[in-house]
Structure 1
Amino acid sequence: MKRKISITLATCILIILPFLVGIPISKYSPYVEANSFKSYVFIWIIISIAFVSIVFVLSKHYSKSFGALVIGGLWLFLLISPIAGIIGLASAPDLSLKMLQHPEREHLRYIFLFIAALLFAAFSVLLIKRNALKIATLNCRILTLIFIIAFSEFIWEFSHHYLYPEALKEWINQGNKVAEFSKKYDNIAIINIGVLGRFIQFSLAILLSIRLYRLGQIKIWCPILITLFSLIGIISASVILLTQMNIPKGFEILFLFFIPGIPFLLFYWLGVALLTKFKKSEIKT
């Protein structure tokens, strides 16, 4: 009984751990003018090395004891590093002219997201290669296609926004007005691609959580939590599609669920669920 309570408490802590890590390091955020960019990166690297070391040690045990799904959970657990890094920035992207003074800050944000996308890809490859979801060949091919589309949209979107400072600088050098750049660079087509990406990514999160629950690999809290956040994300994407980013007043919070970091948070929770699911026979009272 005591161990069961301990596992429950540990799960709750792991769910919010990215925030427990990211919020304290936010005081070193490079968006605060007095702070050093290099210091923030150094702190993040040290934290990331610590998490990678933990995963490395755990992987030796889990690889022999639990198999592919839990190893996949370890890949998803590592999402904590880029997520905490983004939380620690404690600022929305600076899309003003001031961005050109510190383009490295925006680059760092999207480097974190690139890392997250690669971890998601590693999990996806493991899942598909070992058919860990135990699905038919045709369904496996369809799922592979969904994974590829989701990953491709991530990479395309991150590349697009990573190059925002360079594109803004070129725009200004051509004698154009700064105020007109955002609408030109993030036009309707770009927005719609992002919307499509969120539809696929959130739907994939729901699909995976439900399937893994049916296989008995995760507990019920995970599909409930992921489905709830994913549905809000899908609603957010739908509103953005219909309004073309002109979200009605009072509903601005929906934009929070459209940012690319949210799907990674859901996949991180999926990793936590995979790592903390124990059979009754494994829990001694």
Structure 2
Amino acid sequence: MTAQLKIKKNEGILAQAYYEEVARKTLGILWHQKPLIIGILLLALSAASITLVLIGPRYSSQAMIQLNFIRDEPATGVKTQSIATVDAVALVDSVARAIRSPTTASAAVARLGLDKDPDFARESTMWRVLLGTRAALGMKAATPTPRDLAANRLMRMVTVTNPPRSYLISVAVTASDPEQATTLANTVALEYLRARMLQQLSDSQAAAERELNQLSSIYGVRHPSYALARTRLETLQNRLIALRNAPDDDAASLVTGQSFVAAESTFIPSGPSITLILGLTAGAALGVGICLALWLTPRKQTRDKVAIVGGCAGQNVRV
């Protein structure tokens, strides 16, 4: 029993000595190959720095849409009435989906004329190569319009979020220009609200037409109630025509159940994170440099090198 314990103890000592020797020789190899490792590190950091300079700072701006589930209606006094007929969470989610929809993005593109902006209305290089290849092979491919391209680019720039347990929806845009980010965020939110206002006016117009028909059948066209309803219907029709023909930012404050908080420009960059990018680059470069240095070690240091490189490559090393 004592002999077995001594054998196991000796095996442990030998294994420890072996790995200490491997570690010592590994450090010696790395120290000998330090110019290679430092060169790879400096090259990677230089490439990352040039990339950061080319990308430039990014600025974020966000507009807010607050959902209110009550409204005030004039009667003998002012009364408060709930306007939510579905689950509030589902309603918030549907609003967020409508904001990030292609319809809203297309309306924002038309309002700002982004389909004439070459930064928005252009195809990616990979997509152009794909279309060119299909054309060379005689295959048909649908060509997107400048408006479609601009809307797709805008949708990628817009982020719509809803904080948990709140009825607040954030419409955020990140761009290289803080003023452009603010304009895009406000325009997307306002175009959604304009679409909601058009829908509400259309519903009010349909209700006014039904009321007018009822008054006509009951009182006739000469009754004051009919004349008042007719005037109200004409007013709604004029508002609909005006809102369809020309965007009206003031209409955002008239949408029932929703309020708008405009985005403001901020000149503090939101990204990219220089420290994080350079740190990850340095870590990856050191890893590549160490593995490459071990692979390039002369074969005369075979056993130790094979053990080290095997571990670097994810292989099992046997003692």
Query: TM-score, normalising length from structure 1?
Result: 0.23
- Greater helix fraction, Structure 1 or Structure 2: 1
Query: TM-score, normalising length from structure 2?
Result: 0.21
Q: Relative CO higher for 1 or 2, CA cutoff 8 Å, sep ≥ 6?
A: 2
Mark the structure with the bigger radius of gyration. 2
- Greater strand fraction, Structure 1 or Structure 2: 2
